[in-house]
Amino acid sequence: MSVKSKAEIRAEKLLPGNQDFTSITEDIAGVPEQKKTPIQWWLLFGFSLSLLAIFVGSLGFLIWEGTGVWGINNPVFWGWAIINFVWWVGIGHAGTLISAILHLFRQNWRNAINRFAETMTLFAVICALVFPGIHVGRIWVAYWFLPLPNQMGMWPNMRSPLIWDFFAVFTYFTVSLLFWYTGLIPDLATLRDRAKGLKKKVYGFFALGWRGGNRQWQHYELAYLVLAGISTPLVLSVHSVVSSDFATSVIPGWHTTIFPPYFVAGAIYSGFGMVMTLSIIARKVYNLGHIITVEHLDKMAQIMLLTGCMVGYAYSMEFFVAWYSGNPYESFAFVNRALGPYWWGYWAMIFCNVVVPQFFWFEKYRRHIPFLFITSILVNIGMWFERFVIVVITLHRDFMPGAWAMYNPTIFDVSIYIGTFGLFFTGFLLFLRFLPMVSIAEAKLVLPESNPHHGHDHE
Amino acid sequence: MNKFGVIARFDSPESLVHAAEKVRNEGFTKFDCHSPFPIHGMDDAMGLERSKLGYLIGAMGLTGALFGFGLQTWIHSIEYPMNISGKPYFAYPAYAIITFELMVLFSAFGAVFGMMFFNRIPRFHHPVFYSEKFSDVSSDAFYISIEVDDPKYDENNVIDFLRNIGGTEIEVLSDEN
């Protein structure tokens, strides 16, 4: 066959260099099988552990002393805890988008980054779940979130968005964990078959005795498809519900119907930023440039351009509606965002979320790795500021000027936020060390020879 | 020692699919095709029916939704009707979110644990694991196994048949316990 088929051209872009089933297994499984852990890994791990220590220490002090150690005041009752919660949950969303929605759309290129992104989701949601848990103050009664029968006859208020949020994020975490683990089963079997001794037993235990028979794949594929199918509306619901924590209140600046889609777009935008940051580091450290290729980074940049434009649209629409509504409190809330004492937060958000992604119209910038690395970090800074704008700038000046105040975070706001990076990266680095960071079984599906009809696909 | 059956290796997804068709046409029913990844068109080649897992997931999702809606209705209308900012006791539009979330949660449990149930896993001991070479199936090998329980099973015939349709490295496996 002299003319290359479409599938072959695509595969060459996504998996350059003559790769076959064996080489893919070797390359990906070779990373957790390394005898000697790379020095960069130890350096990063040591750094993450120190951040984790800061996290545990600050958390201990917070629980001992109470939420008064934070900078929250009247009227800014919600400070960094809620900003960080929304930020981390949002980051998680890209993982589910990549693994579920792109799977439903049969976007095979996602096979190189989905494991990575799903793991990011798991740890990001763990970091997020910390904040609602600790911001209640009396953490030892956090189980009151759950509808548990008790002698006080006390139940959570199911009509409150805060309880919806708890159910949404809890479901999201559980489903993400199940999805991630289901995807891992065939790869754990690969690691089991290549390992010896204790490692073989541990991997074997989690591989559940997978034999790769088609009678197993048949049910497996259906389960995976259904998980993708139910994760898609789930992920859209989660950030919509998070946004209704704000939108169902009567605070000017929060009480808007645009919040659910706007939050979802922002979540995907920040999540892709984080996937980009992590994959650029990992492909460099582990020399996986031929599996996580520039082609993948290019496609992620395109999604960031799309979602960046969506949040940009939402920002301008908020302003338009604030003016068009004729409501003076609503108009004031928005003028105060852009020109009030926290103007720098607003313009940092606009710069990072609206201006920066415009570079991605040009292929040159979408394929320039140092540029992508810097912008992916800027994206997440911008999205943090978005939540700062929504939480702090809205609350600090509401209806009555007599109730206005400024908000200043304390060292414990900062240390707990920085500390969650320790939690996130410790988990993520352990994953990189012990589990395949790319789905071995799914990466092979990108090769044209994985399709039994590839020799005659000119139809 | 109980005999398990015969396994034979094939060299590509394409040859595995063609071999599966021949095994099916020969009238075997207790056989399986092992591969490192799911192969497109294999279900038809093997003559498998569509997985019934969907019905289980659907039932679980319905259970979750009914449980979620029922739980909220029971709490606020029956167990402890409490007036909170004047909201109605039976505020069914507000129950939509948790109903949906529990439907998704139960369906996910149905999908994963149902998949394990249909696949009969976890199962840590299986005769195919006694073959040294079979373990390549999780990397780059393609195998067909025909089990001794098959009504058409006759060891010498099966070995000849698998060799004729292109199988290599044919092994007869038994349970070592």
Residues A100-148 have pLDDT tens digits of 888 888 888 888 888 888 999 999 999 999 998 898 888 888 888 888 8
Q: Which two tokens stand for residue A450?
A: 């994985």
Q: In chain B, which residues have pLDDT < 50?
A: none
The confidence score (pLDDT) of residue B175 equals: 78
Q: Judge whether A226 and B113 are in contact, CB under 8 Å.
A: no
Residue A59 lies in a domain: yes
Residue A286 lies in a domain: yes
Residue A382 lies in a domain: yes
Number of domains observed in the structure of chain A? 1
- Euclidean distance between CA atoms A263 and A135, whole angstroms: 21
Nearest of B52, B51, B35 to residue B145 by alpha carbon:
B35
The pLDDT-based confidence of A436 (bands split at 50, 70, 90) is very high
Residue numbers of A between 179 and 218 with CB closer than 8 Å to B: 179, 181-182, 186, 189-190, 192-194, 204-205, 208-218
Residue numbers of B between 108 and 167 with CB closer than 8 Å to A: 108-109, 111-112, 114-116, 118-119, 121-126, 128-129, 135-140, 145
The confidence score (pLDDT) of residue A424 equals: 95
Question: Is the pLDDT confidence value at A1 over 50?
Answer: no
Q: List domains and CATH numbers for chain B.
A: 2-50+126-175 (3.30.70), 53-119 (no CATH)
Residue A2 lies in a domain: no
SS (H, E, C) A322-386: HHHCCCHHHHHHHHHHHHCCCHHHHHHHHHHHHHHHHHHHCHHHHCCHHHHHHHHHHHHHHHHHH
Amino acid at A455: G
Q: List all residues 6 or more positions away from A251 whose beta carbon is below 8 Å from its beta carbon.
A: A394, A395, A398
Cβ–Cβ of A223/B112 closer than 8 Å?
Answer: yes
ipTM above 0.85, yes or no: yes
Q: What is the mean pLDDT of chain B?
A: 90
Q: Which two tokens stand for residue A457?
A: 């696909």
Residues B92-140 have pLDDT tens digits of 999 999 999 999 999 999 999 999 999 988 888 888 888 888 888 988 8
Residue A123 lies in a domain: yes
User: What angle is formed at CA A390 by the lines to CA A389 and CA A396, rounded to 5 degrees?
Assistant: 75
Residue A210 lies in a domain: yes
| pTM (whole model) above 0.80 | yes
Q: Looking at the complex, does the CB of residue B27 fall below 8 Å from at least one CB of chain A?
A: no
Q: What is the mean pLDDT of chain A?
A: 90
- Euclidean distance between CA atoms A205 and A188, whole angstroms: 9
Question: Is the pLDDT confidence value at A44 over 70?
Answer: yes
Residues A281-298 have pLDDT tens digits of 888 888 888 888 898 899
- Euclidean distance between CA atoms A315 and B78, whole angstroms: 44
Residues A247-284 have pLDDT tens digits of 999 899 999 999 999 999 999 999 999 999 998 988 88
Q: How far is CA A249 from CA A168, A253, A259, B92, in A?
A: 19, 10, 12, 19
The confidence score (pLDDT) of residue B54 equals: 93
Cis status of the peptide bond prior to A75, with omega within 30 of 0:
yes
In this complex, the residue of B48, B107, B138 whose CB is nearest that of residue A212 is B138
Residue A72: domain span: 21-131+168-451
The pLDDT-based confidence of A150 (bands split at 50, 70, 90) is confident
Percentage of chain A modeled with pLDDT above 90: 63
